[in-house]
């Protein structure tokens, strides 16, 4: 890894939110005088009843629980909208850029967002949603997606956003798990000129979801849909009838705000639960520290609202801070690989925040597309979702930002709510590929396999030693799974599932997952989920899935499949299985390679040795790379696997 050093640029050293000394002092206080620090920081939010208590969490089994600001009362949508009306009612809050460059952008001021959200909230109420009810959102990247989040928050309903690229099966599973009573969707989504049949997918999913009573449908493309009488409502018809006022529901800081399903090491996605006060504080504070937002800036997080990045950095963080947040309907390379930079010029964007996979894909197309645009407005470049390789970092910094924009590499997870390890632009000297230092209150540690804390320069498992306000509170419906998943591997600490290295200067470098989660194009995928989908197919007896390095996607999906006896291993069947996984989970889970394997490498106790499967998928097939295979029940299966490697 590169150890080059990029000091804070001159232009940033002046007038930044924090310089290095200020950040260091702030961090020290967040650790040494934590409760006072957090009660003070909490004042950045508008409370109905301000909290008098900060952190009451414990990671120990005896009194386990995560709890922050527990006697405070507030409403998230009032914090993201109403409190700005006095000073910036006419400022654009949401700036929407459509999929097609020929369509018109839309702009919503804070006053207009207020009205749209109030009407939407009243529609949800009329459709039966109450405080605490779960509402599943299955939406494209349109302004109504942001309104829907805020409308739920306004009435205290718990939203569960399901990414629009997920299949009806995946959607149904996520609706059933949290017993949603209401689904909000659109007729269709639009991405790269193609339409996505969202309402039809909802219709298919709801065949197995008896809890859902109503479906609110946004008219996005005008495409034909079937509306079920008594169940389905058009948002625009209901909103026109609804009142433009809706008082925000007073919520306890620990009342649930949202559930977001994410992949873990087992086949069943976990419903990560975030609550009201701590989450909003964390999203808003880290948005300020990472992006140093200035009034008038146009800030663009190019994520999808279906992922946590969209929640925290398109909607909640920026709106809590009174920013203008740009929402983009489309994809980075449509209709041309210059599109992102054209949008930057069109709207004079100061900050862009995207994923390494998009950068690698655009980098491959050559610098000409970047050079065809000005990008003079850019001040800051963010990245998130996977480790950024130094080559992509340098391209982003040198070619896109012409050397003047700091790269803000933010490491975090759905579980952490918002950024945990990340630079502050005016304070942090950068190293390409390092997420640098912890945010306030975050105590990262590197531990070895036995949990021994390693000091100084070290590499091992990344854990977090104490709670922070934006930490997830539980796995929906399964509190024990929350404890077992995150707090038992290294007792008393939050286990991230990531590996990390800390260098001699104290910089953190995330090395990737150490569990069976893989990161495909910045999307998190449990290998067990893909395996479960494969074994559902009638021809498949057994499947083992691993990640392998992929130039653009970061990691690709490599599946070893053992067929039922009598089944023939044909190319057609391979294609069928690829399609099968796409329909079961969604296109993001498309296997890159399927290798038919008469046997998998198992220990005598029946455990699959994934280490060997990973090595073969990576193309590392020397005896030295494969290591000791003598403990396998049948060492000869390895020769067969090596001989039939795909790719």
Whole-number minimum distance, CB 177 to ligand WTA, in Å?
17
**How many Cα atoms are found within 13 Å in the side-chain-facing hemisphere of 491?**
4
CB nearer to ligand WTA: give 199 or 311. 311
Q: Residue 149 — φ and ψ, nearest 5°?
A: -60, -50
Applying CB under 6 A, among 75, 160, 309, 325 the residue interacting with ligand WTA is 309
529 counts as binding ligand WTA under rule CB under 6 A: no
Is 387 labelled a binding residue? yes
498 counts as binding ligand WTA under rule CB under 6 A: yes
CB 191 within 8 A of CB 335: no
471 counts as binding ligand WTA under rule CB under 6 A: no
Interface segment toward ligand WTA; rule CB under 6 A; list 117-125, 340-348, 369-377, 496-504: 496-504
384 counts as binding ligand WTA under rule CB under 6 A: yes
DSSP structure string for 166-218: S-HHHHHHHHHHHT-SEEEEES-EEETTEEE-HHHHHHHHGGG-TT--EEEEE
Interface segment toward ligand WTA; rule CB under 6 A; list 103-111, 367-375, 495-503, 557-565: 495-503
Task: Give the position of tokens 């599932």.
Answer: 497
* Alpha carbon distance 210, 179 (integer Å): 9
CB 557 within 8 A of CB 520: yes
Q: Which long-range contacts (CB under 8 A, 24 or more apart) does 609-616 make?
A: 610/516, 610/544, 610/546, 612/638, 612/641, 613/544, 613/546, 613/558, 613/560, 613/641, 614/546, 614/547, 614/548, 616/641, 616/642, 616/645
DSSP structure string for 64-106: -B--BSTT-EE-HHHHHTGGGHHHHTTSEEEEEE-SSTTSPPE
411 counts as binding ligand WTA under rule CB under 6 A: yes
**Per-residue string for binding with ligand WTA, 250-269, x by CB under 6 A?**
------------x-------
* Alpha carbon distance 631, 625 (integer Å): 16
Is 582 labelled a binding residue? yes
Interface segment toward ligand WTA; rule CB under 6 A; list 24-32, 279-287, 303-311, 476-484: 303-311
482 counts as binding ligand WTA under rule CB under 6 A: no
489 counts as binding ligand WTA under rule CB under 6 A: no
CB nearer to ligand WTA: give 413 or 590. 413
Q: Say how many residues make up the chain.
A: 647
Whole-number minimum distance, CB 77 to ligand WTA, in Å?
23
3-state SS, residue 383: strand
CB nearer to ligand WTA: give 414 or 595. 414
Write down the number of H helices and E strands in the chain: 23, 29
Among 524, 503, 504, CA closest to 512: 524
* Alpha carbon distance 236, 224 (integer Å): 16
Whole-number minimum distance, CB 262 to ligand WTA, in Å?
5
* Alpha carbon distance 489, 497 (integer Å): 10
493 counts as binding ligand WTA under rule CB under 6 A: no
Whole-number minimum distance, CB 431 to ligand WTA, in Å?
13
CB nearer to ligand WTA: give 395 or 596. 395
Give CA torsion, residues 530, 531, 535, 539, to 10 deg.
80
CB nearer to ligand WTA: give 511 or 539. 511
CB nearer to ligand WTA: give 19 or 429. 429
410 counts as binding ligand WTA under rule CB under 6 A: yes
Is 537 labelled a binding residue? yes
Whole-number minimum distance, CB 261 to ligand WTA, in Å?
10
**Residue 234: in which H helix or E strand, if any?**
strand 232-234
Q: Residue 596 — φ and ψ, nearest 5°?
A: -75, 130
308 counts as binding ligand WTA under rule CB under 6 A: yes
Interface segment toward ligand WTA; rule CB under 6 A; list 21-29, 111-119, 169-177, 302-310: 302-310
CA 202 vs CA 136, 162, 228, 232, 236: distances in Å: 10, 11, 12, 11, 19
387 counts as binding ligand WTA under rule CB under 6 A: yes
Interface segment toward ligand WTA; rule CB under 6 A; list 86-94, 185-193, 226-234, 305-313: 305-313
Is 540 labelled a binding residue? yes
**Residue 361: in which H helix or E strand, if any?**
helix 356-364
Is 413 labelled a binding residue? yes
Pairing mode, strands 214-218 and 194-196: unpaired
Among 204, 205, 200, 227, CA closest to 216: 227
385 counts as binding ligand WTA under rule CB under 6 A: yes
Residues 419-438 that bind ligand WTA (CB under 6 A): 435
Is 241 labelled a binding residue? no
Is 432 labelled a binding residue? no
Is 476 labelled a binding residue? no
Interface segment toward ligand WTA; rule CB under 6 A; list 150-158, 329-337, 407-415, 482-490: 407-415
CB 642 within 8 A of CB 619: no
Q: How many residues bind ligand WTA (CB under 6 A)?
A: 22
Judged on CB neighbours under 10 Å (0-12, 13-18, 19+), 213 is middle
CB nearer to ligand WTA: give 77 or 410. 410
Among 463, 66, 30, CA closest to 277: 66
Whole-number minimum distance, CB 41 to ligand WTA, in Å?
22
CB nearer to ligand WTA: give 122 or 160. 160
CB nearer to ligand WTA: give 37 or 412. 412
Footprint on this chain of ligand WTA (rule: CB under 6 A) = 262, 307-309, 384-387, 409-414, 435, 496-498, 510, 513, 519, 524
- Numbered residues of the known binding site for CoA: 191-194, 309, 333, 521, 582
- Numbered residues of the known binding site: 191-194, 309, 333, 385-387, 409-414, 498, 513, 521, 524, 535, 537, 540, 582
């Amino acid at each position: 890894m590169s150890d080059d050093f990029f000091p804070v640029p001159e232009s940033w050293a002046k007038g930044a939110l924090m310089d290095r000394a200020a950040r260091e002092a702030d961090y020290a206080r967040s650790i040494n005088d934590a409760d006072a620090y957090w009660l003070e920081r909490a004042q950045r939010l508008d409370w109905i009843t301000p909290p008098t208590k900060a952190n009451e969490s414990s990671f120990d089994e005896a009194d386990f629980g995560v709890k922050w600001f527990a006697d405070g009362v507030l409403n998230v949508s009032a914090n993201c909208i109403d409190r700005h009306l006095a000073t910036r009612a006419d400022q654009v809050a949401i700036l929407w850029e459509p999929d097609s460059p020929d369509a018109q952008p839309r702009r919503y001021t804070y006053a207009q967002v207020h009205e749209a959200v109030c009407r939407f909230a009243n529609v949800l109420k009329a459709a039966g949603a109450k405080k605490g009810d779960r509402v599943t959102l299955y939406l494209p990247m349109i302004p109504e997606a942001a309104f829907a989040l805020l409308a739920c928050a306004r009435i205290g309903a718990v939203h569960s956003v399901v990414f629009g690229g997920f299949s009806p099966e995946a959607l149904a599973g996520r609706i059933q798990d949290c017993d949603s009573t209401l689904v909000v969707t659109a007729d269709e989504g639009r991405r790269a000129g193609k339409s996505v049949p969202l309402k039809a997918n909802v219709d298919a999913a709801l065949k197995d979801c008896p809890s859902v009573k109503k479906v609110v449908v946004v008219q996005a493309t005008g495409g034909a849909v079937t509306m079920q009488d008594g169940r389905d409502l058009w948002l625009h018809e209901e909103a026109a009838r609804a009142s433009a006022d809706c008082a925000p529901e007073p919520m306890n800081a620990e009342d649930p705000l949202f559930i977001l399903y994410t992949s873990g090491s087992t086949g069943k996605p976990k419903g990560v639960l975030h609550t009201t006060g701590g989450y909003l504080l964390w999203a808003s504070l880290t948005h300020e520290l990472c992006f140093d937002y200035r009034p008038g800036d146009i800030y663009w997080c190019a994520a999808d609202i279906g992922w946590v990045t969209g929640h925290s950095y398109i909607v909640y963080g920026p709106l809590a801070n009174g920013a203008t947040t740009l929402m983009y309907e489309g994809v980075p390379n449509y209709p041309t690989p210059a599109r992102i930079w054209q949008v930057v010029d069109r709207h004079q964007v100061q900050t862009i925040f995207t994923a390494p996979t998009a950068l690698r894909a655009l980098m491959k197309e050559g610098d000409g597309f970047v050079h065809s645009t000005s990008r003079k407005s850019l001040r800051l470049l963010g990245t998130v979702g996977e480790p950024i390789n130094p080559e992509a970092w340098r391209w982003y910094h040198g070619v896109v930002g012409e050397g003047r924009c700091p790269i803000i590499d933010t490491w975090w997870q759905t579980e952490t709510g918002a950024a945990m390890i990340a630079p502050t632009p005016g304070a942090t000297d950068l190293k390409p590929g390092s997420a640098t230092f912890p945010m306030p209150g975050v105590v990262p540690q590197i531990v070895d396999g036995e949990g021994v804390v390693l000091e100084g320069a070290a590499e091992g498992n990344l854990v977090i030693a104490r709670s922070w306000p934006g930490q997830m509170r539980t796995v929906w419906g399964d509190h024990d799974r929350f404890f077992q998943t995150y707090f038992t591997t290294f007792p008393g600490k939050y286990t991230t599932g990531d590996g990390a290295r800390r260098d001699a200067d104290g910089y953190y470098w995330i090395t990737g997952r150490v569990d069976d989660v893989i990161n495909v194009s910045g999307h998190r995928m449990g290998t067990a989920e893909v395996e479960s989908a494969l074994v559902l197919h009638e021809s498949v007896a057994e499947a083992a899935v691993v990640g392998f390095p992929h130039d653009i996607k970061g990691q690709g999906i490599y599946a070893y499949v053992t067929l039922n006896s009598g089944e023939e291993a044909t190319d057609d069947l391979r294609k069928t299985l690829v399609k099968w996984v796409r329909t079961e989970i969604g296109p993001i889970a498309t296997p890159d390679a399927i290798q038919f394997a008469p046997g998998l490498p198992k220990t005598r106790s029946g455990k699959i040795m994934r280490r060997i499967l990973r090595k073969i998928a990576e193309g590392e097939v020397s005896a030295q790379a494969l290591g000791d295979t003598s403990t396998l029940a049948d060492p000869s299966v390895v020769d067969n696997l090596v001989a039939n490697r795909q790719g």
